[in-house]
Amino acid sequence: MSADQKPQAATRLVLVRHGESNATVRRVIGGPRTCDGLSDLGRRQVERLATRLAETCEITADRLVASHYPRAIETAEALSATLGRAVEIDAGFGELDPGPELDGMRFADYVDRFGTPDWDGDPHAEVFPGGETTAEFHLRVGATLARSVGEWSGQAIVVCCHGGVVDAVFRQLLDTPPTGHFELHTRNTSLTEFVSTPSGRWRLSRYNDAAHLAGLPSETPRVGAVS
């Protein structure tokens, strides 16, 4: 690098898992066709995050992106004023699509019919008949990620997305196997942050940062749960 050249600014990628969803509370497979947004607790979680970010100014955003799922859009819209950005929708950051037949099915009915899904098995196996395989899901998320960080290189990108997407981004940026070997349990409205480095690699700055949830219930009682 010559003396008059400036080092390229780092790209900052912040992933925000959406707040608790109605689909989770109802124990249904909440795909893009049947998702109907956040639960009451989910909205409180997002409000807590928005308040935190307004107070700390720890995150700036050149882009604020949400998947096309209502629960992700609702999360992003609640952060829009705080971050000073309009929400951009990108379906490429959507959760694994279960397909039209199973979208909205009660999870218990799915297990009765197909058995407990094996997320650590063959990534090309059809866990949701008629839906995406894990391999197809990771390919989609990986392509969306590559396009986004390529177009917005050197910028701060905040993406409101899903637990499965956070997992897929981990495996993509940290070059790990597509299934197995580790397990993530990403909390609702937690922050996960990656920063690019001059070497071309990515540095994980934080994962599952959910300090703003202190004092809130961990979850809404699930429909049909035995007390």
For CA atoms 50, 54, 59, 60, give the dihedral sign.
Answer: positive
> Mean pLDDT of all residues in the chain?
94
| Res. 3: pLDDT tops 70 | no
Answer yes or no: is 134 within a domain.
yes
Query: Looking at the 3D structure of the chain, how many domains does it have?
Result: 1
- Inside any domain, residue 4: no
**CATH number assigned to the domain comprising residue 52:** 3.40.50.1240
Per-residue buried b or exposed e for 134-155, using 16+ beta carbons within 10 Å of the residue's own CB: beebbbbbbebbeebbeebeeb
Residue 224 lies in a domain: no
pLDDT in tens, 151-207: 999 999 999 999 999 999 999 999 888 888 888 999 999 999 999 999 999 999 999
**What residue numbers bound the domain in which 203 lies?**
12-212
Q: What is the pLDDT of residues 7-29, one digit of tens each?
A: 689 999 999 999 999 999 999 99
